[in-house]
Each structure stands twice: as structure tokens, then as C-alpha cells.
Structure 1
Amino acid sequence: MKIISVVFHPLLMATYLSAILFTKTPELFPRVMPQIVPEFVLVVFITTCLMPALSLLLLRTFSFITNLELTQRSERIRPFIFIAFYYGASSYLFSDKLEMGPVFMTVMISVSILILILLIITTWFKVSIHSAAIWSGVGFLTALVLHLGVIIGWYYFGFILAAGLTSSSRLYLGYHKPKEVWSGAILGFIYSYLTIVLFL
């Protein structure tokens, strides 16, 4: 179960979504030629996963957090601020410099806002970030499939399966209570689904 939490870590969700959308729905990204898709996915990985992960390691090195799982609700504030900054900067990079189009920008900006929402919620309730992140991905994909007619095949069902496994792993490992997992899943899915429906 530990490996599931690592493979589907919240910081990897933007990379997974980008890889799926760039490869399965190239019509949504006319400026991205197929041969440079790996480079774009790599940029997404660096800005939304690698750099935030390095920030977490620095916080751990200087004892601002006791572990990388952020099991203590009180220790989540600084990491969330760093992560929100990186996602906001990434949104600016892709919108202003790379002009990635409305779908990608809507996803990136809404994820940045979701992080801030989770930051606020975290001040009084320990919601499962793993569940919120991966079910947010399911919410985005569901809205794209149902409302924009996007076809991504078995990747959609694979993402749902991954979401179920990830949520279950958080319970199995004892990191969260059921209400923390369910609240994260419901918030992530509904928020992201409505984002696509209302703004695209």
C-alpha cells in the first residue's frame, strides 16, 4: 500500500494529467507538436513536482516538518504555501510564455486555487490531500469526457481505479480516518468537475 501512495502522490497528478491529455487529446493543444510532448511533460514535472518536492526536503532538513508525509496537520501550512507558489508560477509560465490553451490553463489555475482552499481547510481539519488530488484528476477527466467529448479510452477508468486504490491506501496505512479521505475525495471531484463545466 505504501508504494501506491508514492506512485500516486499529489505532486505527480499534474504530470499524469498532462501526459494523458497531451498524448490522447492533441487537438486541445494545437501549439504542442507531438514530437515535443515529452519535453512539455518534463517541464510540467519539474515545475509542479520536482521543485515542490525539493522544497519539502529542505523543510525536513531544517526541521520545519517532522516527516515528508505531513502527518501533523499543523506542519502543513508552510509546505502548502510553497506548493501553491510553484503551481501559481507554473500557471503563469504556461499561460503567458507558452500559451497552452484554455483547457490546460483552466486545469492549472484551478489546481492552484484548490491548493489554497486545502490550505485554509487544513487550519482546522486534516483532509486527505492524496484523495483530494487524485479525485480532482478524476473530476477533470470526467468533465472533459462528458462535456467536451474528449476520448481518452481506458486511461479514464485506470484513473478511477488508481483513485480508489490511493484512497484505500491512506486508510490502510493509518494516515487518515474515513471522513478525512471521503471529504478530500468529494471536494476534489466536485470542485474540479464544476471548474471545467463552468469555465470551458
Structure 2
Amino acid sequence: SSDDVVNPTNAITRYVDDSESDIVYQISMSKSTKKGDDVVTIGVHELVLNEKCPVFDDDNCEKVFVSVEFLDYPAEYLETPYALVKGEPNTKYSFDFQTECSVRDQPKKQQLAELVEPRSSGEIKFVVVAEPPEDQPSLDCVDIGVATVNAKQLLHNQTDHINQSIDVYGMDDQKKVVGQMNVTVSIVQALNKVTRQGQNVRRIQS
């Protein structure tokens, strides 16, 4: 529903800064009116891929974007709105994408609570995706790397992950670092709320 994700509005600019050899996509965000413990903020700010990334060896990979895997939100809600043209290794791609996911309804609260349960990995995944040329409609997008933020660690440390860099690992070899990504995950208030509610329910039931 429109309540689930506060999507960006207005003032969209896309340009290439030749002086820095950086590829930039900028987007201004609408301000949230929701309570902090009812939303999770997820952002993808910058991406740098190094020479070990397979995207540079594949002529069928023309652009890159990032898709976030969080709860049961559809991919189109949590992917950068634009794919940016593939540059040289160590080019900085600036997406400046940030959105807020509502966790007010009971199904979302349940999923959020399950994210930090013992049997869960606790991982929120940021997947780097390569897009084929527009004149090759038969080709599919390819996942080329993944970075993760662990919600369990954020809850344990009581610290959100704001504009911090994380390693991007190859899909075929998840010990090989193929880049870095600067991201935001603001989730601790929402996790505190659902874990408190879960503890209260268990006390009542016992």
C-alpha cells in the first residue's frame, strides 16, 4: 500500500561529473511524518566496484543498480530508481537513494521480530545488479555482488548504521571483496519496540 513505503518525490537530477570520473544520481527525499519506532530507514548512497568485480569483464553488463532485500517488500520498492552506466574500476557511483519502510501493521511487526530471532541470520542484503544493454532484450539482469548489514548486531549494539561503508562480496566467491557500498539502515527503535512487545506477550502467556 502507499502507507508501506515513503517514496522519493521532486527534484530528481542525474549527471556525469567528468572531472571526478564519478557517476552520480541524486534524489531529494520527502520528509517523514511517521514515528521513529514505526519505520525503518534504508539508504543506498554510494558504490565503488574494484577490478576484481566480474562486471568489468562482461560486455553484456552495461549498467549497475542496487536492490535491497528486507522483510517481504517487493524488489521494486527497495531498489535504486535508476541504473547507472558502468564506468571503469574504482569509479564512484552516487545513488543518494533513501526510503522509509513502515512496520506499523502486525504482519510487518512479526517479520521484523523474526529477523532477530535465534534461527534467523539477521541479514539485510544489498545486492549489486548488472543490467544488460537496452538493445539486448533477451538478456536478464545478473547479480554480481552482495553486501550485508546484520540487524541482530545493530540491536545488540543499540546503534544504527548511518552513512557507513560495508564490503561488497562476489556472488560466486563470497570471500572475495569486489567493492564497497555506503549505506544507511536505521532500525534500532523499531527493533526495540517489537522485541519489547514480544517480551510482554510472553510474560502474559506465562
Q: TM-score, normalised by structure 2?
A: 0.29
Higher strand proportion: 2
Is the radius of gyration larger for structure 1 or structure 2? Answer: 2
Q: TM-score, normalised by structure 1?
A: 0.30
